[in-house]
Chain A
Amino acid sequence: MSFWLVAKWTVFAGLVLWMVQAGFFGVPRLFTWPMFSRVSECRMDLVDQAGRPVNPWHHIVHQDPGMNAWELGCYLEYLREVRGVRVSGTVTLVDYTGRRTLAVEDGRVVV
């Protein structure tokens, strides 16, 4: 049996095991395809210190409605540290657990 055939069999067997494990068990990662299985929505109603509305769609990569609590914290931190903007207002998170409304003051989630 040639070296390349052994290599191909090894890669194939490894991929099959990986695909089964990742695809059907455990947390989502490469070879996991849970498209639309856990959808979330994050609607922001925020203004800066001067009362001007802040539009998050100008900063995020895609036009995705979803943002979890960590991502929201990261985004508010970015506005504070890079843009120098300390926003206030409300953020509504909708996900598979239900709907939550968070209050934001001085660039941080307070509730």
Chain B
Amino acid sequence: MWWFEAVADGFRYPASPLPMALFRVVLAMAVLWKFGYEHHRGAWRWFASDSYVYYRYRREHPRLPVGTTGYRVLYVAKLMAASCLLVGLAPRPAALVLGVWFLFELRYDRKFHTAYLGLCTLFLAASPALGDALTFRTVAEAVASSPVEAIRSEAARTSDDVFAQVLLVLLTVQMYGSSAYRKLRSRQFMSGAALHVFTAALHGERHTQRFRDTWYPPFIARRLIDVPDRVGARRWRPAAVATVVLEAVLPVALLVPALYPAAVVAGILMHAAFTAVLPIRLVPFSLATVGSYLLFPDPAGATRWPWLG
């Protein structure tokens, strides 16, 4: 398998820039989705002097003074960086800025999807080939010749530094492995109670929430949510067990070429189910994670992708 060969050979392996560029685009879209819905939910004012978010941040981090102005400078920087990452304009500095932003965001809003996006952007910044494909220049070339021709010529620009891609594959493998292990050791999760408590809490508060995060169909609500704790836990248990099994198997299956297509389908279905639980908030995480599947196949093979003719 290419990943082990690359590690054994000092992170050198002939690679097309296309998989990393595609992941860059998907990751930038995920990040822009996150920034978009957070802005809609008032993120620009989260560090205003009368905000609870700011109050709690100061209580937790008295030695890391970022005030309203500092927060808004970072806020504008993150939006510019995400846009630059999308179009491939100075993508490495853009990825670095985003990584720094996410590390800061974890100081006031600890979310696992934020940690994953932050680590992805930091690792992405280590790729020298990040701007070699699917940039604003591609659009100009596509207009001059044809889209397929433009992308085919970019896909052929192979380089041999795959350090960033190795790290990103490692990150997704470790994320799934750790998640499966932690869930397996959690009696609350394995019993199904965790999923029932979470969905029932959000569904129960849906009318008092300022911004909704859940839209469960009436059938699902009747069957899985508006039921006593014990019944709800029992009905969620198969989903909990299936999640742990899939998360444990997926990293291995993604690395084995023969199992890769099935693993991609299973992974997409699993993340679609996660996203159905939290339809707004989990879109960026699901996009980024499923996008990372592009990095698992042999990167030299991207020049032979069928749609490139």
Question: Residues of A with Cβ closer than 8 Å to B?
Answer: 5, 8-9, 12, 15-16, 19, 22-24, 28, 30-41, 43, 55, 57-63, 65-66, 71, 74-75, 78, 81-83, 94, 96
Contact pick for B189, options A28, A37, A81, A94, CB 8 Å: A37
Q: If the complex has contacts A34-B179, A96-B188, are A58 and B210 also in contact, measured as CB distance less than 8 A?
A: yes
Pick the interface stretch among B105-113, B219-227, B293-301.
Answer: B105-113
17 A–B pairs (Cβ distance < 8 Å), ordered by A = A15-B167, A19-B171, A23-B181, A32-B178, A33-B175, A33-B176, A36-B183, A37-B188, A39-B188, A59-B53, A61-B53, A62-B109, A62-B111, A63-B211, A74-B59, A75-B56, A96-B188
Q: If the complex has contacts A12-B7, A39-B194, are A23 and B174 also in contact, measured as CB distance less than 8 A?
A: yes
What is the minimal beta-carbon distance from A11 to any residue of chain B, in angstroms? 8
Q: Which of B10, B174, B195 has the most chain A CB atoms closer than 10 A to its own CB?
A: B174
Q: If the complex has contacts A38-B186, A96-B186, A96-B187, are A19 and B201 also in contact, measured as CB distance less than 8 A?
A: no
Contact pick for B212, options A63, A74, A81, CB 8 Å: A63
B198 and A65 contacting across the interface, CB-CB below 8 Å = yes
A-chain residues with CB within 8 Å of residue B211 when the two chains form the complex: 63
Give the complex CA separation of A83 and B59 in angstroms: 16
Q: A5-B10, A31-B174 are in contact. List 7 more A-B contacts (CB 8 A).
A: A15-B170, A19-B171, A34-B186, A41-B197, A57-B208, A65-B201, A78-B55
Let me know if B115 is at the binding interface, CB within 8 A.
Answer: yes
B-chain residues with CB within 8 Å of residue A39 when the two chains form the complex: 188-189, 193-195, 197-198
Let me know if B11 is at the binding interface, CB within 8 A.
Answer: yes
What is the minimal beta-carbon distance from B89 to any residue of chain A, in angstroms? 26
Contact pick for B182, options A12, A33, A58, A96, CB 8 Å: A33
Let me know if B87 is at the binding interface, CB within 8 A.
Answer: no
B186 and A57 contacting across the interface, CB-CB below 8 Å = no
Q: How many residues of chain B have a CB within 8 Å of chain A? A: 56
Interface membership of chain B positions 182-214, coded 1 if the CB is closer than 8 angstroms to chain A and 0 otherwise: 110111110001110110111011001111110
Contact pick for B205, options A23, A28, A30, A57, CB 8 Å: A57
Q: Which of A16, A36, A39, A41 has the most chain B CB atoms closer than 10 A to its own CB?
A: A36
B281 and A62 contacting across the interface, CB-CB below 8 Å = yes
List the 4 closest A-B pairs by CB distance, nearest first.
A23-B178, A65-B201, A34-B182, A41-B201
Let me know if B177 is at the binding interface, CB within 8 A.
Answer: yes
Contact pick for A60, options B52, B171, B281, CB 8 Å: B52
What is the minimal beta-carbon distance from A20 to any residue of chain B, in angstroms? 8
B281 and A32 contacting across the interface, CB-CB below 8 Å = no
Q: If the complex has contacts A12-B166, A19-B170, A39-B194, are A33 and B112 also in contact, measured as CB distance less than 8 A?
A: yes
Give the complex CA separation of A23 and B205 in angstroms: 33
Contact pick for B46, options A55, A61, A83, CB 8 Å: A61
A35 and B112 contacting across the interface, CB-CB below 8 Å = yes
A41 and B182 contacting across the interface, CB-CB below 8 Å = no
A34 and B197 contacting across the interface, CB-CB below 8 Å = no
Give the complex CA separation of A65 and B7 in angstroms: 43
A61 and B50 contacting across the interface, CB-CB below 8 Å = no
Let me know if B101 is at the binding interface, CB within 8 A.
Answer: no
B197 and A23 contacting across the interface, CB-CB below 8 Å = no
Q: If the complex has contacts A15-B167, A57-B210, A63-B211, are A37 and B115 also in contact, measured as CB distance less than 8 A?
A: no
A12 and B209 contacting across the interface, CB-CB below 8 Å = no
Interface membership of chain B positions 207-251, coded 1 if the CB is closer than 8 angstroms to chain A and 0 otherwise: 011111100000000000000000000000000000000000000
Give the complex CA separation of A63 and B166 in angstroms: 35
What is the minimal beta-carbon distance from A31 to any residue of chain B, in angstroms? 7
